[in-house]
Amino acid sequence: MQAPINKPIFVVGSPRSGTSILTWCLGHHPNLFPVPESNWLGSFAVNVAIAYQVGAARGDHSILSAMEIRNDELFAAFGRSINDLILRHRKDLETKRETRSKELKIDGRWLEATSTLAGPKKRWVDGTPEYSFYICGLRKLFPDALFIHIIRDVRTVVRSMLNFHRVTGVQLTPNEQEAYRYWLRTVSACLEAERAYGPDVVHRIRYADLIDNAELAMRSLFAFLKEPYTAKCLEPLALRINSSEVPPDFKSDNPPTNPAIIEEACQLSNNIEKSPQPSASSPAAVAEMEAAFEKRAQYIATLDMDKSRLEVVVCAYQAEQSRLESAIAELQRQFDDLSDRLAQIPGTNR
């Protein structure tokens, strides 16, 4: 039996940059289906790294080292299992989407294009913006995964972030300054991945091109994905999904934002618009990302160990406190008993 294709696609970038609409566009392709924002794969990759560190910590006395199970082998095994689960449970996802679409009275044609009837769909697309920070870990789980970095003007993104609650009731960011900071962090992480892995792994697309030159942008995108172009993928662009509906006269009433942060973000945004992404991968940048990923795993592992040690101390303290409380209660009982006995002796004042 032929092994399932294990080449997922991750749409990354700052929230409110078009990750949702692009994921839905790709989901209209006969070989690609969109999954809900998963959110768990990034932290899962870190936990696999932690598990490997523990499983190889004592050399030949540890199972992973003793059995010559390499780091990349462990990651890839988990990645294959995850991919298989997602492909096998695709029909369950479609069933839930159909039920939800009827409840919310959503136009059925959007679901038809992503369903089994639209094609075999052997690859899946995940548009979780948070994965901008976990590209290295996702590459470990899925060595053949591809990443699409969608970039949008920072001013527009910040306005959309601040108005996100109009659609969902959820405050995406507490204030304008944090919105600029978040854009800087996500975009910088994606640019680092562009530099490290090169255009064969990470493809940059501008939101403006997706809107103004949709067919050209999508043709370039499908060439990167090595999938045939289909005009059906342009259909979702006719309907703005998940829009923040920013009023034309919107002005932020947040506390004043640090001008230096705005300047830094706007300068980076302008530079990206003017400059192409790197034309080749950088082994040095890959090494930096690998080191940062391992450092993150080690940091979290250390926190877990410190937490465990603290829990032991707390338990010991609680046990001692309980013992002391019992001893005090016993002394109080003896004192009360002695007082009662003294009170029964004629002529004794308590």
At 53 the pLDDT is: 87
At 252 the pLDDT is: 60
Q: What is the mean pLDDT of residues 184-206?
A: 97
pLDDT at 76 over 60: yes
At 329 the pLDDT is: 85
Tokens standing for residue 72: 């990349």
Return the percentage of the chain with pLDDT > 70, whole number: 87
pLDDT at 317 over 90: no
Greater confidence, 151 or 165? 151
pLDDT at 306 over 60: no
Q: What is the mean pLDDT of residues 292-302?
A: 86
Beta-strand ranges (E) seen in the chain are 9-12, 32-35, 123-126, 146-151, 202-206
What single-letter amino acid sits at 175?
N
CA distances from 11 to 32, 124, 135, 187, 288 (A): 13, 11, 11, 12, 22
pLDDT at 205 over 80: yes
Using one digit for the tens of pLDDT, what is the confidence trace for 131-149? 999 999 999 999 999 999 9
Mean pLDDT of the chain: 87
- For 100, counting Cβ atoms within 10 Å of its Cβ (0-12 exposed, 13-18 middle, 19+ buried), the class is exposed
pLDDT at 124 over 60: yes
Cβ–Cβ < 8 Å for 126, 35: yes
pLDDT at 60 over 90: no
Q: How confident is the model at residue 225 (pLDDT cuts 50, 70, 90)?
A: very high
At 101 the pLDDT is: 72
pTM beyond 0.85: no
Using one digit for the tens of pLDDT, what is the confidence trace for 249-290? 556 666 788 999 999 999 999 999 899 999 999 999 999 999
At 12 the pLDDT is: 98
Dist. CA 23–CA 128, nearest whole Å = 9
pLDDT at 169 over 80: no
3-class SS letters over 184-234: HHHHHHHHHHHHHHCCCCEEEEEHHHHHHCHHHHHHHHHHHHCCCCCHHHH
pLDDT at 313 over 80: no
Most confident of 85-94, 246-255, 320-329: 85-94
Three-state DSSP class for 72? helix
Cβ–Cβ < 8 Å for 169, 177: no
At 182 the pLDDT is: 96
CA distances from 291 to 146, 173, 185 (A): 21, 30, 18
Q: In which element (H, E) is residue 338 found?
A: helix 283-343
Cβ–Cβ < 8 Å for 240, 160: no
